Amino acid sequence: MKKIKKLNTIDLFAGAGGLSLGFMRTGGFDIKAAVEYDKYAAKTYAENHEGVEVLQDDASTISFKEKIEDKYGKVDVVIGGPPCQGFSNANRQKTSLISGNNQLVQHYVRAIKELNPTAFVLENVKTLESSRHFFFVESGNIKEVRELGIPTRKERIALCVGEESTTLATDALQHKDDLDMYRMNKEGYSVLCKLLKFSRTSERAAEYVKNQEKKVKKLFADWDQMYKAFWNENWENFFCSSKEILQKFADENQQYSVYFERLKTLVEVEQAIERLNELHENHIDCEIQISDSRITVIADTFSVKDYLEHNFKALGYVINKAFLNAADFGVPQTRERFIMIGIKKDIIGEKEIKLPSRILQMEDYNTVRDAIEDLEKLETSIQADAPEIHSIFKEGSKLATLLNNRNTISNHVITDTGDVAKERFKALEQGENFHNLDKSLKTTYSLPERTQNTIYLRLQYDEPSGTVMNVRKSMWIHPTLNRALSIREAARLQSFPNSFVLYGSKNSQYQQVGNAVPPLLGQAIAECLLEQLGMQSESSLADDLGVEKGCNNVCYLNREGDHVA
């Protein structure tokens, strides 16, 4: 293959920079700039990617041409993973219908339109192609939908569920042109939502009210000013009488069931108003259906999948997509992600776009032991800015050697664990989780039976981990030690080497790791892209892992998003 100059590249929604790190390892990409709004993630990126300008900008407002192309010249490759959140009617705590995250997908497409790169890589959640990820047809996009021929479908969405809340909310519908006048203020509504969230049992409700005493007292002090106006006398009477019911429980812990039902109705009615107002403000035409116990809207929508495919094809790209499992590429973690690669048709011609072939078979996967065993005897800290410590790595697997690229360790930091959590740690064996605990150790959870299997999970040394998210929130446990997993250990499971240092608050560092694309997966994608652009990678992931490159055993998707061989 011919050797040509490095490809000018930008990374959008870059996070801490796991995808960029993988691309840079190939030596074929000159990453000019990265766009990342979060200040801590932006700092982590800047400190670990020398020579890359980090733009701490909102991708929804930035002019990619002015900020990037006018400064760095023609962009060859765009990479990145725009956050995308699916909608679920089952999520009662979620007020908004229109996810701001989903809109970021549109700005990734806008970047491709403005920069017209030779190729792009889009990384996202595995469920991106499901029906949960959609946009509403509204005045601002209906022209584009029609011109591109994007298929639409009717979506049924519950505005309100419950007999009493439906009766009350129905009266508000006649004011849909002026709902802003009749909405609860944001501060009060936020407190009510949190009270409901932590009130699934009387004990939990009393504990939360006690812990949030200042906020609760302020809620009652501001009660009469929470609305500019009421839409009718029934709602005014209901709202005003609610203060006494909620206050009675807050002050005396009495009449819990009455307290919970009243709180639930208040939140349900306000949620319906918020959603209806959102539909109206965004000029979304919808049909409203009302029954005795439910208010439903029916609106035209189109899927994120169809939006992406129709736009990229209209822009002259040949695309292909796959679910890639990070464990297939040496990452000690079974993490499945949606990957789409697009290359200009005048470059690729009639060839099919390839995605990387798996390097490891399941029986050869790297394990938690390969990634973190050498850290077992190193002392952890609870301080986010703990100083570096010397490693004691001597020898290990190919992966362990790859990750131990310097003899000091940063971010070997853990969450400060309470007594109850420590007792749970002690009670669990490798591979067990919250559901394996005795009932006496589950009392702080209002609905323990609904707790996810990833909560209080003790990792197994001789298996890959599951998908690494924010392991601080999930309270993942070290395989053999009765402590939480450290930030560095979580980073190792994502295939970040010792030389990669995270910055920011403790929770931010955990979150940055959980949000990241594993660098080894990024490298596999980058090598595959280079090959199709007639370039050679300076390094080989297969060689780094000490294996021969495997057969093309990727599970592709058909047009409906189903798995095909």
Between CA 328 and CA 366 the distance in angstroms is 9
Asked if residue 396 lies in contact with residue 372, where contact means CB atoms within 8 angstroms, the answer is no
Do the strands 29-35 and 7-12 form a parallel or antiparallel pair, or are they unpaired? parallel
Helix-helix angle 213-221:202-211, to 10 degrees: 80
Supply 489's token pair: 């250990």
> Which residue type is seen at 384?
A
> Is position 286 annotated as part of the catalytic site?
no
Which residues, 6+ apart, have CB-to-CB distance to 71 below 8 Å?
33
The beta-strand segments (E) located in 248-405 are: 286-290, 294-303, 317-325, 336-344, 389-390
Supply 179's token pair: 């709902």
> Which residue type is seen at 120?
F
Q: 149: left (phi > 0), else alpha (psi -120 to 50), else beta?
A: left
Supply 25's token pair: 């390892």
Residue 261 burial class via C-beta count within 10 angstroms: exposed 0-12, middle 13-18, buried 19 and up: middle
Between CA 559 and CA 385 the distance in angstroms is 48
| Catalytic option among 84, 160, 193, 286 | 84
Helix (H, G, I), strand (E, B) or coil at 224: helix
Task: With CA atoms as reference, report the closest residue to 110 among 55, 62, 38.
Answer: 62
Between CA 52 and CA 559 the distance in angstroms is 37
Phi and psi torsions of 181, nearest 5°: -70, -25
Asked if residue 513 lies in contact with residue 491, where contact means CB atoms within 8 angstroms, the answer is yes
Asked if residue 331 lies in contact with residue 403, where contact means CB atoms within 8 angstroms, the answer is no
Helix (H, G, I), strand (E, B) or coil at 32: strand
Supply 201's token pair: 């049992």
Which residues, 6+ apart, have CB-to-CB distance to 209 below 8 Å?
195, 216, 249, 250
Supply 20's token pair: 């960029």
Between CA 458 and CA 467 the distance in angstroms is 13
Asked if residue 300 lies in contact with residue 285, where contact means CB atoms within 8 angstroms, the answer is yes
* DSSP single-letter state for residue 481: S
Between CA 330 and CA 358 the distance in angstroms is 9
Write out the DSSP string of 502-527: --S-HHHHHHHHHHSPPHHHHHHHHH
Which residues are catalytically annotated? 84
